Amino acid sequence: MAVNVKISVFCFYFGLSSLLSATSSYEEDLENYLLHSKDHSLVKPFNVPGFWDIFGNVIITPEYVRLTSDLQGRSGGIFNTIPVKANHWEVHLHFKIHGSGSKFFGDGMAFWYLNEPLKPGSVFGASDYFSGFALIIDTYFNSQKNHQKQRHKHPMIALMPNNGSLSYSHDKDGFGVPGILSYCQAEVRQVRHETYLAIRYENEELRVMTNIDGDQEWKHCVSLKRLHLPKMGYFGLSASTGDLSDNHDVIFLKVYELDTESLPENRHSVPMIPNGPSIEKLFLGFHMEMMQKELILQVERLIKLQMNKLGVKEVRETPTCYLVLFKDKLLYKHERFV
């Protein structure tokens, strides 16, 4: 069965992105259109008892929830104790990652949607073999060699869906078969401006936007279609440090219910539980695509190198192919990957 992984542009509800002049005004406009789900939101004064629970080294202050302090060997998490009843929702996360390290720091934090409340563990402070998805803000290279090959850069925001049968690979920073399914580079650490994420699940499509550059503009990060998440799931946040450290702070997490018509019952989607093979095919398709891109790039570099050795003076690039010419005659045409 062919696997089709598409990336789509995030469109905010009722086109509100066009109204963005500042994040605060956008939040005000959003609350006029969407139902703010207070049972699932984490806002000042952080009324944790009854709606949220914590574990590990979490510190609750009047201004923020600190998942980890800038100390080695720390981990902590906070999770919503009430399951999400809405089929379509949007989450806005205001966070801050900062610390004393100028060159070395880590490890990162994660936003979770799971079929059961978050538990402590080894994946950025939370348990492995989870069912749902993790959106990981990873600030530290665990495998520099792997990232050079795959052209990944840190810090990054990475998406990993799971049906409970897959393990997160720390040595590969989550990459491999299976592993991280989609990612974007995100300079979110030690910045003077505010940093935000918007995570929307609507009609079995997960879309993530960032507002992290200080320009009050939302930009596409990752998206995944045909994703069937567990119903009545739980939100959570976690973070961890190792030999390196950082402060990982949550300023707020706001949840909005979307009033969206559901897809027909005969929809074709990727079930998260309990069917393991389906999600493994999804991961395999993504990584085969990555390998194909890398192979074609290597071939293109080799062709250019050989043409230079032969004294060919002109290699023209078009959107779809390379044209190798010698004395205005076409010697070779190589189709590019598009």
- Measured over the CA atoms of residue 174, residue 210, residue 71 and residue 191, the dihedral's sign is positive
Q: Is the pLDDT of residue 2 over 50?
A: no
Least confident of 33-42, 164-173, 201-210, 214-223: 33-42
pLDDT at 275: 40
Query: What's the DSSP call for residue 81?
Result: S
Q: Is the pLDDT of residue 75 over 80?
A: yes
**Per-domain residue ranges of the chain:** 13-274, 295-335
Cβ(128)–Cβ(168) under 8 Å? yes
Q: Identify the residue whose tokens are 């600030």.
A: 139
Question: Mind listing the pLDDT tens digit for each residue in 294-328?
Answer: 566 666 667 667 666 666 555 555 555 555 555 55
pLDDT at 10: 32
pLDDT at 82: 93
- pLDDT classification of 285: cutoffs 50, 70, 90: low
Angle at 196 between CA 193 and CA 154, to 5 degrees: 80
pTM value? 0.72
Joined together, the tokens standing for residue 41 give: 């939101």
Paired with 325 in beta bridges are 314, 330
pLDDT at 3: 34
Q: Can you name the CATH fold of 13-274?
A: Jelly Rolls (2.60.120)
